[in-house]
Every structure is written in C-alpha cells, then in structure tokens.
Structure 1
Amino acid sequence: MSDNWYSGNADDDADQHRGWLLGHFIAPETPGSAVRATGDLEVKWGIHPKGQQRPEWTADDQRTTMLLLVSGRFRLDLTTGSTVLQRQGDYVVWGPGTDHSWQAEDDSVVVTIRWPSIG
C-alpha cells in the first residue's frame, strides 16, 4: 500500500488510539499510518453507550474543537454553557481555553475534530 493514502473502518481503527483516527500520536512507521500521522488536526470516532460520561473537565486546552453528532443524544458542558446534540448533524465548535465535559444521554456516535494536533 502506498504511504500517501489509506482506507479503513472507523470502528476497527478507533481501538488503536482511544478513538482517534488522525493526529500527531499516530506513529508514521506503522503500516498504513503514514498518511494518518499529522500535526495539523486530530479526528476521533467516538461510540458512547447511554450514561457514559467524562466527569472531569479538560484543563486549559489550547485547541479549537468541533463535535459532530452522527446518532444518539449527547450533552456537552462547556465553561461557557451547555448544549444537547439530538438531531443527526448537530454540532458544536469551541475555541482555545474553553474547558468541557460530556455525557451520552442515549447510545451515541460522535465525530470530534481538534486542531492543531499537539501533545
């Protein structure tokens, strides 16, 4: 397989890096991963059963983030307010310095995109 393209399945690949499919933490020397290793952004495929939550808040994250609902009902709490994503395609974008936590109110699938990808 060429190093400049990759075809995979989000469910299968998500187990390798806690759901993250693209980002700085993917080792480019791993077969099929060179094109997914990037410092530009991070993409996560998140499958969350009803009731699963992140009880702790992030701490001073300095990236911009987009959370996109694929299915389910998902609550996002930000230091500036809260929102519930409930219709397929609902999304939220927040900037650097805004902390967050979340809870899956129903079985949910979400895509998270963060940029830049920094450790």
Structure 2
Amino acid sequence: MSDNWYSGNANDDADQHRGWLLGHFIAPQTPGSTVRQSDHLEVKWGIHPAGQQRPEWTADDQRTTMLLLVSGRFRLDLTTGSTVLERQGDYVVWGPGIDHSWQAEKDSVVVTVRWPSLAG
C-alpha cells in the first residue's frame, strides 16, 4: 500500500485515538499514519450515548474548532453562550480563546475538526 493514501472506517479507526482520525498524535505504527498524521488539522468521529458529557471546560484553547452533528441531539456550551444541535447537518464554529463543554442530550454522532493540530 502506498504511504500517501488510506481507506478506513471512522467507527473502527476511532477506537485508536479517542475518536481522532487525523492529527499530529497519529502514531507511526497506526495504519495509514503517513497520510493521517498532520500538524495542520485534527478530525474526530465522536459517538456519544445520551447523557454523556464533558463536565470540565477546556482551558484557553488556541485553535479554531467546528462541530458538525451527524445524528442525535447535542448541546454545546461555550463561554459565549450555549447552542443545541438537533437537525442533521447543524454545526458550530468557534475560534481561539473560547472554551467549551458539551452534553449528548440523545445518542449522538458528531464530527469535530480543529486547526491547527497542536501538541498538549
């Protein structure tokens, strides 16, 4: 297999890195690591059962983030306000310096894209 392409399944691959499919943290031994390892962005496939939450807030995140609802109902709390994603395709984008937490109000699948991909 060539090093500059990869075909996989988000449900299968998400278990390897807490849901993250692309980013600086993709280990060299991970299948497709050459093309999936990136300092430019991170992509996460998040499967969250109803009631699951991130009770703690992020702290001074300096990246831009987009959260896209695939299915379910998902509440996102930002330091600037809260929003509920409930219709397939609903999304939110926020910039550096805005912290967040979240809760899955129903079983939910979300895609998160962050850039750049920073260690720590």
Question: Is TM (by shorter chain) over 0.5?
Answer: yes
Q: Counterparts of 2:112 and 2:30 in 1: how far apart (Å)?
A: 23
Q: Cα 1:69–1:31, aligned 2, differ >3 Å: closer, same or farther?
A: closer
**Structure 1 unaligned runs (5+)?**
none
CA-based RMSD of the aligned residues comes to 0.8
Q: Which amino acid aligns with 1:97?
A: G
Of all paired residues, the percent bearing the same amino acid is: 88
CA-CA distance at 1:28 after TM superposition: 3.4
**Structure 2 unaligned runs (5+)?**
none
Q: Counterparts of 2:37 and 2:21 in 1: how far apart (Å)?
A: 9
Structure 1 segments, 4+ long, off by >4 Å, are: none
Q: Deviations over 1:11-44 (max 9, x none)?
A: 0000000000000000235342110000000000
Q: Counterparts of 1:71 and 1:43 in 2: how far apart (Å)?
A: 17
The number of equivalent residue pairs is 119
Q: Hey, what does 2:24 align to over in structure 1?
A: 24
CA-CA distance at 1:95 after TM superposition: 0.1
Q: Which amino acid aligns with 1:34?
A: T
Q: Hey, what does 1:110 align to over in structure 2?
A: 110
Q: Hey, what does 1:93 align to over in structure 2?
A: 93
Q: Hey, what does 2:39 align to over in structure 1?
A: 39
- TM-score normalised by L of structure 1: 0.98
- TM-score normalised by L of structure 2: 0.97
Q: Hey, what does 1:73 align to over in structure 2?
A: 73
Q: Hey, what does 2:53 align to over in structure 1?
A: 53
Q: Which amino acid aligns with 1:6?
A: Y
Q: Counterparts of 1:70 and 1:11 in 2: how far apart (Å)?
A: 13
